[in-house]
Structure 1
Amino acid sequence: MTERDKVFAGSIPKFYDTLMVPLIFETYAAETAALVASFSPDSVLETAAGSGAVTRALAPKLHAGARYVVTDLNQPMLDYAASRQGADRRIEWRQADALALPFADASFDIVVCQFGAMFFPDRIAGYAEARRVLKTGGRFVLSVWDRIEDNAFADDVTRALATVFPHDPPRFLARTPHGYHDTGVIRAELTRAGFADIAIETQEAVSHAPSAREAATAYCLGTPLRNEIEARDASLLEFAMDRATEAIVSRHGERPVAGKIQAHVIVAAG
């Protein structure tokens, strides 16, 4: 992962939330919210909350007296998430680094992190922090994307952009969102962080978009992939989106489009 991989600023949060979230995140957010709520927690910490897909799905499922602390390292994303949520006295919004959480030991029943661990520069440290702030019997619920070949639109876009920049292809999607998919490595790192009871389930779903163009736009404008394209040649951004659109059309048609997505959902306890 590069420093540019962590930059969700400018127009990216809006495109991320309005295009990427419906495309690939909402389905898993709903499943994650149902899973967390099934444990009937009194206190929940969300790390790497992004634009708030899980927050919006989970908050209505928590009881009236629950405490819900929502954090992200990236302030623009956290601000955007808060703007979408609406007033809720149970929710505390706080900028925080998942690798150095500003909370006391044994503070939460659940720590939840949807599709954020891939961005941790030191995942074992991040997992150890999650375990530290969990109460006895608490659970760490997280999800990560499976390999890019099992996520159709991400794979299509990555292959298309390699034809635009053949000598230096943008590899953000393969490198970071889809670069942490080995379940053996995930289990080993959680174990090193102190978790003993680890369940991993691979879940396949279907991604939907109104058109191939909208799916291509989501990836090219709603993720740090945009930063990679513009760093190579900003004048080629529209052309790159055209090529990504053509790649999706060639495999899935023009409108509407549907493609496979796949992720690992993990529940870990001390």
Structure 2
Amino acid sequence: MNGSDAVFVGSIPEFYDEYMVPMIFASYAEDLAQRVADLKPNRVLEVAAGTGVVTRAAARLLPESVELIATDLNQAMLDHAEATGTLRPVRWQQADALDLPFEDASFDVVFCQFGAMFFPDRARGFAEARRVLRPGGTLLFSVWDRIEENEFAATIGTTLATLYPTDPPRFMERTPHGYHDLQTITDDLTAAGFTTTPHYETIPARSRARSAEAAAIAYCQGTPVRAEIEARTTSDLATVTQTCAAALADRFGPGPIDGKIQAHLITIEA
């Protein structure tokens, strides 16, 4: 993974929360939070919480007696999440998923939505989750399916490849949609020390944006794609965003747009 792939700085957290969260993350967040609540845990840890979309859903669904700790490597994302707030107390803490600052066997559930793809060493990240889980505890995490099953992202990727044919920005293919092979995930979980069999669900959903422009802003300005565009000098960010918006409008029509998204949900017991 490119070292810049995990960088969400400047105005990116705001763009991410305003545009990306409702477009592709919110529905999956509600589903994951409900699954966590259904396990009736006493203490839970969220890894790679980002701007807190799953955290807010979990805070609504979990009793206040359940301790909820939300972590992320990126302080800017956590600052935005904490400023947005939750309906009940949440402990926000900067933490590296590969080196969690928590005691062994101290959580009933560890969960992570669309964060494992960013781990520089996924087996180590899963090993840390296993370490902090109590015996019989549960790790739940989601990853995006291949980019071809995610229509907005695929359209953006194709458009960027046309704009930069010799050096296209590949963040979307490389990272968010680069960890979809279930056998690879199984191998990483085994390397992490899990001895139980993971349960996989492939979950299709619909991605909706109020306009093609909003979707283009989300991808081009609310993710590390922005840094890849700004590192190339042939077109400025606004021009590239508008070109991507035109491509989305051409494929999905004017006005509000709707496209397929698809993810894998993995559940495994410690």
TM bucket normalised to smaller: over 0.9
Instruction: Show the counterpart of 2:256.
Output: 256
Q: Name the structure 2 match of 1:16.
A: 16
Aligned to 2:177: 178
1:233 Cα deviation after fit: 2.1
Mind listing any 5+ residue stretches in structure 1 that lack a counterpart? none
- Any residues of structure 2 matched to 1:57-136 within 5 Å, and which? 57-86=57-86, 88-89=88-89, 91-136=90-135
The answer to whether the 8 A contact 2:78-2:92 is kept is yes
Residue 3 of structure 1 pairs with residue 3 of structure 2? yes
Q: Residue 218 of structure 2 aligns with which residue?
A: 218
Superposition map of 1:34-49 within 5 A:
34-49=34-49
- Contact between 2:59 and 2:86, CA under 8 Å: does it hold in 1? no
| Deviation at residue 234 of structure 1 after TM alignment | 7.8
Partners of 1:66 and 1:83 in 2: CA distance: 21
Q: Say yes or no: does 1:153 pair with 2:144.
A: no
SS in 2 for 1:49: coil
Aligned to 1:197, what secondary structure does the other structure show? coil
Q: Which amino acid aligns with 2:124?
A: A
Where 2:233 maps in the other structure, the secondary structure is helix
Q: Which amino acid aligns with 1:259?
A: G
* Deviation (angstroms), 1:14: 0.3
Task: Give the Cα–Cα distance (whole angstroms) in 1 for the partners of residues 249 and 87 of structure 2.
Answer: 41
- Residue identity in the other structure for 1:178: H
Match of 2:200 in 1: 200
Does the C-alpha gap of structure 1 residues 38 and 12 become closer, same or farther in structure 2, counting only changes over 3 Å?
same
Q: CA deviation at 1:88?
A: 3.0
**8 Å contact kept, 2:51–2:77:** yes
Query: Which region of structure 1 is more displaced relative to structure 2, 244-253 or 9-18?
Result: 244-253
CA separation in 1, counterparts of 2:114 and 2:8?
A: 14
| Length-normalised TM-score, structure 1 | 0.97
In structure 2, runs of 5+ residues without a counterpart are none
Paired with 1:35 and 1:86, the residues of 2 have a C-alpha distance of 19
Deviation of residue 251 (structure 1)? 1.2
Letter of the structure 2 residue corresponding to residue 82 of structure 1: E
The CA deviation at 1:239 is: 1.5
- 1:31-69, Cα deviation, whole Å (9 max, x unpaired): 001111110111100000000010011111111211011
One-letter code aligned to 1:63: P
Pair 1:234–1:4, CA change in 2 (3 A): farther
Q: 1:29 matched to which residue of 2?
A: 29
* Counterpart amino acid of residue 18 in structure 1: E
* Alignment deviations for residues 204-237 of structure 1 (CA, whole Å, 9 cap, x no partner): 0000001111101100010000000001128521
| Distance in 1 separating the partners of 2:38 and 2:264 | 19
Q: Deviations over 1:229-251 (max 9, x none)?
A: 00112852112112211111121
What's the Cα RMSD here?
1.1
> What amino acid sits opposite 1:135 in the alignment?
R
- Show CA shifts across 1:121-148 (max 9, x none): 0000000000000011100000000000
Aligned residues: 269
Q: Is the 8 A contact 2:60 2:87 kept in 1?
A: no
Q: For 2:51 and 2:95, how far apart are their aligned partners in 1?
A: 15
- For residue 18 of structure 1, report the CA deviation from its aligned partner: 0.5
Q: Any idea what SS the aligned residue of 1:233 has?
A: coil
Q: In the alignment, what sits opposite 2:167?
A: 168
SS of 2:187's equivalent?
helix
Kept in 1, the 8 Å contact 2:252–2:258? The answer is: yes
